[in-house]
Structure 1
């Protein structure tokens, strides 16, 4: 009963609300900004779409854990950035415009990369004879339906009814957070007997994925000479993933609750590092302003 409720009702509704809320925050300028900040957009996209999946794949390959958990870890890494990254970037005084642009780009690109990379992970980590797989074209269409269509609807509302969109955006965010919390609670109840063992196996790998991804984003942006605000944006964007989509793919499309455990753990942990980045960004900015005044 719980599994059916989770996969057929709560997950699609929660994901649609998350993506509708993101659409309400987007305007066409967010996509045109690619030509304005080409280096920052290119670096952030590479870190999100290439570097993080590579880190996830290496951790899944090297870390001793059950194959289902390893696949679940990879699926977290191949998902797009989470819309909450934009709020965390704002609180950290990062470049919000860049954050929104990177979230939008990764949400579009990963429609095509998720089915391919997820199937590759299934073959490598569970064996070529794995009984579960994602049919590529149908999976792309389903991801479009539950992510890009609500996003497009949200953008349409923003264009036509701006004041209404700005009011709805906050409410959608709260509702999506509440539904995600309920989904994680149902997963915890469903996996109560296995959860301590799962956390012992994959918990440290989840933390490592988040910390290494965040550090890779920040350090590569610093190496490229980008300003602090853009460094913060890229680091947060790489570290904050769309956990709801990862759970929808594992528990919904793949119908494997065990695979959803890394996504549930990541969804909780990423907020800790996200708000650590808020404290870090504010402190660095205050220090820079202090030295400037001095």
Structure 2
């Protein structure tokens, strides 16, 4: 597989599958539900757009001497939540309705969060060059095609062909997860020289970032006395990133392989703390009747 084939075909296709998968889990009622759980949703949004960017900027500061990595960590933080987070929330015994609502918000908010955080990072770290020549209006338009169009198609399928959508949605989630892993592996193979030089450094950093995001999300939720189910959900939602979107933006808009490496590495490392949170949630659910 050549680089251009991966970037021009595989990444957009997998992103389309992932975003359609998100759309298949959403209904208009999910957006209405946001108003019925304002506290939990507000905490989740704070985790997405305050806590997560703060962690992203800390990681960017650590890698400030490598501009591509610095931008990549901030870009990763600007793309919260993915379809797999809803599945993980379900497995952990979390609040799936809350997970879906937060995923819906992040799908829309990414149109603004991605260009805003990238431009802020470029100023904060005085990064110049092609990777930060980001026309905002054009970027928002391209993100609308990458994000809103497939989500809308998925929502439309759920509305107009509900039985079919409910039947295929679990399979779409599995295909999306497998496709994400395959694309990350393919990316590593095609860019092996660069990946091999940075994987040892980025592996620990992305693991630390994902663990910090999940622990921070859990502590934030518990600090405001949300239920344990809501807390577990927010932990997963804050820590599980839309790595495919981050990679696609890095490679097709920023034209930087280096900026895609944090997302590619994070796409694998985030499952370590995520599965730990799932185990914690399942254990708490088993013990709940006895307490």
The alignment status of 1:130 with 2:125, answered yes or no, reads no
3-state secondary structure, aligned to 1:204: helix
Provide the aligned C-alpha RMSD in A. 1.5
Counterpart for residue 7 of structure 2:
7
3-state secondary structure, aligned to 2:225: coil
C-alpha contact (below 8 Å) 2:64/2:125 kept by paired residues: no
C-alpha contact (below 8 Å) 1:71/1:125 kept by paired residues: no
Counterpart for residue 77 of structure 1:
77
Q: Measure how far apart 1:255 and its partner are.
A: 1.5
C-alpha contact (below 8 Å) 1:40/1:226 kept by paired residues: yes
Quickly say closer, same or farther: Cα 1:199–1:64, change in 2 above 3 A. farther
Q: Bigger CA drift: 217-226 or 194-203? A: 194-203
Counterpart for residue 25 of structure 1:
25
Structure 2: how far apart are the matches of 1:111 and 1:79? 10
The alignment status of 1:116 with 2:113, answered yes or no, reads no
Which stretches in structure 1 are left out of the alignment for 5+ residues?
Answer: none
TM-score by length of 2: 0.95
C-alpha contact (below 8 Å) 1:64/1:201 kept by paired residues: no
The alignment status of 1:276 with 2:276, answered yes or no, reads yes
Counterpart for residue 40 of structure 2:
40
Counterpart for residue 211 of structure 1:
211
Q: Count residues with an aligned counterpart.
A: 290
Counterparts of residues 1-294 of structure 1 (less than 5 Å): 2-63=2-63, 66-125=66-125, 127=127, 129-132=128-131, 133-291=133-291
3-state secondary structure, aligned to 1:94: coil
What do residues 56-91 of structure 1 show as CA deviations (whole Å, max 9, x unaligned)?
102211346622112111111111211100000000
Structure 2: how far apart are the matches of 1:277 and 1:271? 10
Structure 2: how far apart are the matches of 1:105 and 1:169? 20
Structure 2: how far apart are the matches of 1:178 and 1:285? 28
C-alpha contact (below 8 Å) 1:49/1:106 kept by paired residues: no
Q: Bigger CA drift: 65-74 or 247-256? A: 65-74
TM-score by length of 1: 0.94
Structure 2: how far apart are the matches of 1:120 and 1:213? 20
Structure 1: how far apart are the matches of 2:202 and 2:51? 20
Which stretches in structure 2 are left out of the alignment for 5+ residues?
Answer: none
Q: Measure how far apart 1:101 and its partner are.
A: 0.3
What do residues 119-176 of structure 1 show as CA deviations (whole Å, max 9, x unaligned)?
222343362x322222111111111111111111111111111110012212322322
C-alpha contact (below 8 Å) 2:53/2:77 kept by paired residues: yes
Off by >6 Å, runs of 4+ in structure 1: none
C-alpha contact (below 8 Å) 1:27/1:158 kept by paired residues: yes
